Amino acid sequence: MKTEDIPVLVEYLVADHGPLPDGPGKSVLLNRCTICHDLQRVRQHPSSAEGWEDTLLAMLDEGAMLSDDEFAVLLNYRQELQTLGLLDSALATLSGPSDRFSIP
Ligand code: HEC
């Protein structure tokens, strides 16, 4: 691998595979929400805090397999991601400031 390939690789890994704060939400998100689209999709279009529940319900309609417990876990997990600055969308920042995650 060439040195100039490293940033590209890092960007790919971060977008699709992490970083995610540890906790129950992490495994739910990785196991249930990356079947039809990648994690990047969730990060870039996370919807506002108010719209998140609707987004999750829409995913259930699409066919996502979420138990009631997992649904509740994910409902809270969005806030955790946002607090850590792991959501990309302008919408995500509407409901509060977040320090953007950046690769040094
Ligand atoms: C059964 C397939 C499926 C599963 C599982 C799934 N999604 Fe989706 N998701 C979709 C489809 C279809 C779209 C429509 C956008 C597209 O064309 O990719 C979408 C779009 C999205 C979007 C973007 C909405 C927008 O306004 O653009 C978010 C956020 C999202 N999903 C979150 C999740 C989360 C969180 C989970 C886990 C609970 C999940 N998805 C699981 C099918 C799925």
| Segment 20-55, tens digit of pLDDT | 888 888 889 988 998 898 888 887 776 778 889 999
- Look up the domain containing 29 and give its range: 3-94
Give residues with Cβ within 8 angstroms of 25, minimum separation 6: 73, 74, 76, 77, 80
In a domain, 100, yes or no: no
Q: Is the CB of 69 under 6 A from ligand 1?
A: no
| Segment 44-92, tens digit of pLDDT | 776 778 889 999 999 999 999 999 999 999 999 888 888 887 777 544 4
Q: Is the CB of 41 under 6 A from ligand 1?
A: yes
In a domain, 80, yes or no: yes
In a domain, 78, yes or no: yes
CA of 46 to the centre of ligand 1 (A): 10
CA of 25 to the centre of ligand 1 (A): 16
Three-state SS sequence of the chain: CCHHHHHHHHHHHHHHHCCCCCCHHHHHHHHHCCCCCCHHHHHHCCCCCCCHHHHHHHHHHHCCCCCHHHHHHHHHHHHHHHHCCCCCCHHHHHCCCCCCCCCC
